[in-house]
A and B are shown apart, each in its own frame.
Chain A
Amino acid sequence: MSRIINSGLEELSATLHKMGELAYHTVLAALRECVENRDAYNEIREMSEALVSMADHVEDRAFELIARFQPVASDLRTIKSYMKIAYDFARFGRYALDMSYANQKFGGIRNCEAWIISHVKDMGEKTLSMIRLSIDSLRSHDSQLAEKVTQMEEEVDKMYFDFLDKLIERADITTRCMVSSVLIVRYLERIADHATYICESIIYIATGKKVILR
C-alpha cells in the first residue's frame, strides 16, 4: 500500500524536473543570445520569473510535507535537498537573465575576436552539459552519476581562469568585448558551481553523506 506522504514527494519531484528542463533552456537561450544577433531578454526574463515562482512553490510544499508528515531518514533528506535544488535551478535562471542583461547593455560577444567567441562557446557547452548531468542524476537519485560532475567542474574552473589570464595579456581587445566576455564567463562559472551543488545534494539524498565535489 502506498504511503500517504508519497503523493506529495512525487509532486515535488515532478516540479523539480520541470524546473530542470526550464533552467536548461533559459541558460541555452542566454548563451545563444551572446553570439547571435537576437534579443531574447523578455523571453529569458519570463522563464527566470517562472523558475523563481516554481522554487517558491517547492519551498511551500516542502514546508507542508514537513509540518504534516514528520518525514524522517531518506524522506527528510529528500525534502531538505529538494528545497536546495529548487533554489539552485532558480539561480540558473537568474544568471541567465544577468547574462542577457549584459548582452543587451554591451552587445554580447558576437563582434569580438574569434578566439573569445570560441572560448565562451566551449565553456557554455561544458556548463550546459553539467546542468544536463545534474538533471539526469536527479531523475534517478543516482549518486555515481552525480560524482562525475567533479571533473567537469574542475574543467570549467580552469577554462574560467585561463580565459582571464589570456584576456589580461591582450591589449588589443575593446573594452566592450572585455566587459561582456568577462561577465559571461563569470556567470557560467557560477552556474557550474550550482550544478555541482545539485550533484552534492543528490549524493546526500542517496547516501546520507555530505560531500563537497568542488
Chain B
Amino acid sequence: MAPKFEIEDLNAWFGTKHVLKNINMKIEENAVTAIIGPSGCGKTTFIRCLNRMHEITPGARASGKVLFNGLDIYGDGVDPVMIRRKIGMVFQKPNPFPMMSIYDNVAAGLKLNGVKNKKIIDAAVRRSLELANLWDEVKNDLNKSGASLSGGQQQRLCIARALAVEPEVLLMDEPCSALDPIATAKIEALIRKLAENYTVVIVTHNMQQAARVSDYTAFLYLGELMEYGPTKQIFENPKHELTEKYITGKFG
C-alpha cells in the first residue's frame, strides 16, 4: 500500500525562527500515527504543515515537499481550501460554533461547500454523528446548542463536523488534553475505530496516549525527527537514547 503522505525535506519557520528541520517521513494510510516530543519541539507546526494551516499564521512559511496521495500540496496551483477539506483538523479545545445547534455544527462544512439538499444534509449529519459515536446521545436534541454538551461530547461533535465533509485524513492536535479520563477513553476508542477507514495523525503530550492509540510513533526534538517507527518498537525498544530518555521521563 502506498503511504498517504510522503514528506521530503520539510522545513518550517515562524519569522526567523526555524521550527522544523529537514523532516523526512512517510505516513501510512488507514493507520494512526502519533507525534510526540517536548513542548516547542514542532509537533503542532508539523501537523499544520500537512494541510497548509501553518501558512495562515502571519510570518510563517514552509519549504520542502508534502506529497498527499502522491500530489505535492505545496505545488503550483494547488488550492489550500481543497486540501483542508480532504485533510480535516480537530483541535485541543473543543470548539463547536457556539451560536449553532448540534445539527448546524455538523452541517456547517457541507453548507459552506454549497450542499443545499436537505435530505443529503440530514443523512450526512446522522452518518457523521454515528461515526463519531455521538448519535445515540444527541439524536433527540439536534436543535440544542452545541455549547450545551459536555466537553467530551463537544469534542466528538467537532470530530463529527470534521467527518461530515468526507475527509481522508484527520489531524488531531491534543484532542483529549481538556477532557477527563472517561471522555478521553471514548475519544481514544473512537480514534481506533476511525483508523479502519481514515488516516489519523495525532499530536499528544501524553506518551501513554500515543502508546495506546497509535500504530506508528514519531519523536520530535528541537524541530528534528529523532526517531520514527512502529509504536510497539518505540515504546519497548527505542533505538535512540533521547527517545528512551523522553519516554521514561528521564529528560533534563
Give chain A's interface residues, CB within 8 Å of chain B. Answer: 1-5, 63-64, 67-70
Contact = CB atoms under 8 A, between A and B. Distances in A.
Given A4-B213, A5-B212, 7 more contacts: A1-B189, A3-B185, A4-B185, A64-B232, A67-B235, A68-B231, A70-B212
A201 B189 CA distance: 30
15 contacts: A1-B186, A1-B190, A2-B189, A3-B189, A4-B185, A4-B189, A4-B192, A64-B232, A67-B235, A68-B211, A68-B231, A69-B211, A69-B212, A70-B208, A70-B211
Contacts of B186: 1
Nearest to A5: B212
A68 B192 contact: no
B174 interface: no
B135 to A, nearest CB: 13
B236 A67 contact: yes
Contacts, number: 31
B207 to A, nearest CB: 10
Given A1-B133, A4-B212, A4-B213, A68 B189 contact: no
Nearest to B185: A3
- Interface residues of B: mostly helix, strand, loop or mixed? helix
B6 interface: no
Contacts of B231: 68
Contacts of B189: 1-4
A63 B236 contact: yes
B55 interface: no
B227 interface: no
B8 interface: no
Contacts of B28: none
A64 B109 CA distance: 40
Contacts of A64: 232, 236
Contacts of A63: 236
Nearest to A2: B189
B244 interface: no
A70 B133 CA distance: 24
B224 interface: no
Interface string B202-243: 000000100111000000000000000001100110000000
Given A1-B186, A1-B189, A4-B189, A68 B133 contact: no
A4 B231 CA distance: 15
A67 B211 contact: yes
A60 to B, nearest CB: 9
Nearest to B235: A67
